[in-house]
């Protein structure tokens, strides 16, 4: 059951294995733990974040053993790739996979825990959040930089960007929940606009992001706004249909 470790942390191998072995009985729960479980642990002077992925069903157990990289491994490799491209993400420490004859059982991704003032979600929920428009414009620039480097973050959603305030009203952005990404030579216009579709249904926020992106991309505002709204509306329609189907299927609860 190998533990693949960032060379910077190789001396901490025994401590990391101990945290994994005692994961269920120790650590501080972070988040609701409904799907994947995240816990915080101390590693000498730093706090680390260990994410235990849900045990996959039988077909995926086999797929992750023979055909696809596990979510834990992808998270670790994508984090390193982001950092190589100058994109913020908590420092990757290690990943762990437990394979049996039936395929992948447990898997864990370990990173440094990052304390942040907010996520993108706070901007959606609170239109009066201090410096709201400035943060939103800087976030748009951050997303534009991702696209310019050919990085398509498929889980670009409200809770997956941590935001830290620096000096002089400047902000830093850090991606989390990294296991779904595509890397391109060049991202076309439609792919760029679709990448905003999960972030917010609020027209006023889409207008600000469209205005900023249009300036950066040297494109007309109306064209950017129209396309961003199209993909956002399409996502919202499908999302609400999915919710209604679940309500009908689970009416007995």
What pLDDT does residue 221 have? 98
What's the pLDDT band for 186 if we cut at 50, 70, 90? very high
Q: What is the pLDDT of residue 253?
A: 55
Q: Report the share of the chain in percent with pLDDT over 90.
A: 86
pTM, full prediction: 0.92
User: What Å distances lie between residue 91 and 5, 81, 94, 155, 176, CA to CA?
Assistant: 12, 11, 10, 19, 10
Specify whether the CB–CB gap between 81 and 69 falls below 8 A. no
Closest to 39 (Cα-Cα) out of 25, 56, 54: 25
Checking if the pLDDT of 22 tops 80, the result is yes
User: Residues 97-152: pLDDT tens digits?
Assistant: 999 888 999 999 999 999 999 999 999 999 999 999 999 999 999 999 999 999 99
Q: What is the mean pLDDT of residues 193-203?
A: 97
DSSP string, 199-225: T---HHHHHHHHHHHHHHHT--HHHHH
> Rounded mean pLDDT of 185-196?
97
Residue 3 has pLDDT above 90, yes or no: no
- 168 — pLDDT class (breaks 50, 70, 90): confident
Cβ atoms of 150 and 182 closer than 8 Å:
no
Question: Cα dist. 34→54, 69, 81, 224 in Å?
Answer: 9, 23, 28, 36
Closest listed residue to residue 159, CA positions, set 142, 177, 147, 183: 177
Reply yes or no on whether the pLDDT at 251 is more than 80.
no
Q: Give yes or no for residue 185 having a pLDDT over 80.
A: yes
In this predicted model, what pLDDT tens digit does every residue of 73-108 receive, in sequence order? 999 999 999 999 999 999 999 999 999 888 999 999
Region 14-22: what's the mean pLDDT? 95
Q: Judge contact between 110 and 94, C-beta under 8 A.
A: yes
What value does the mean pLDDT take over residues 181-191? 97
Cα–Cα distance measured from residue 82 to residue 79, given in angstroms and rounded to the nearest whole number = 5
Residue 69 has pLDDT above 90, yes or no: yes
With 90 as the cut, is the pLDDT of residue 33 above it? no
Q: Which domains does the chain have, with CATH numbers?
A: 3-112 (3.30.200.20), 118-240 (no CATH)
Residue 32 has pLDDT above 90, yes or no: no
Name the pLDDT band for 245 (thresholds 50, 70, 90): confident
């Amino acid at each position: 059951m190998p533990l693949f470790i960032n060379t910077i942390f190789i001396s901490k191998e025994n401590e990391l294995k101990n945290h994994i072995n005692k994961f269920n009985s120790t650590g501080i729960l972070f988040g609701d733990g409904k799907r994947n479980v995240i816990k915080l642990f101390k590693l000498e002077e730093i706090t680390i974040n260990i994410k235990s992925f849900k045990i996959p069903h039988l077909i995926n157990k086999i797929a992750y053993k023979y055909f696809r990289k596990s979510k834990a491994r992808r998270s670790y490799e994508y984090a390193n790739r982001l950092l190589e491209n100058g994109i913020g993400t908590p420092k990757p420490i290690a990943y762990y996979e437990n394979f049996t004859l039936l395929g992948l059982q447990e898997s864990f991704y370990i990173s440094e825990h990052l304390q942040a003032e907010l996520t993108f979600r706070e901007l959606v929920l609170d239109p009066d959040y201090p410096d709201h428009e400035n943060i939103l414009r800087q976030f748009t620039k951050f997303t534009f930089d991702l696209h310019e480097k050919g990085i398509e973050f498929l889980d670009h959603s409200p809770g997956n960007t941590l935001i830290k305030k620096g000096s002089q009203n400047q902000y830093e952005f850090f991606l989390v929940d990294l296991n779904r990404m595509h890397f391109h030579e060049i991202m076309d216009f439609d792919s760029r606009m679709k990448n905003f579709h999960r972030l917010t249904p609020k027209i006023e926020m889409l207008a600000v992001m469209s205005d900023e992106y249009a300036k950066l991309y040297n494109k007309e505002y109306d064209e950017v706004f129209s396309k961003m709204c199209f993909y956002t509306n399409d996502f919202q329609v499908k999302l609400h249909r999915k919710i209604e189907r679940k309500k009908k299927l689970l009416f007995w609860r």
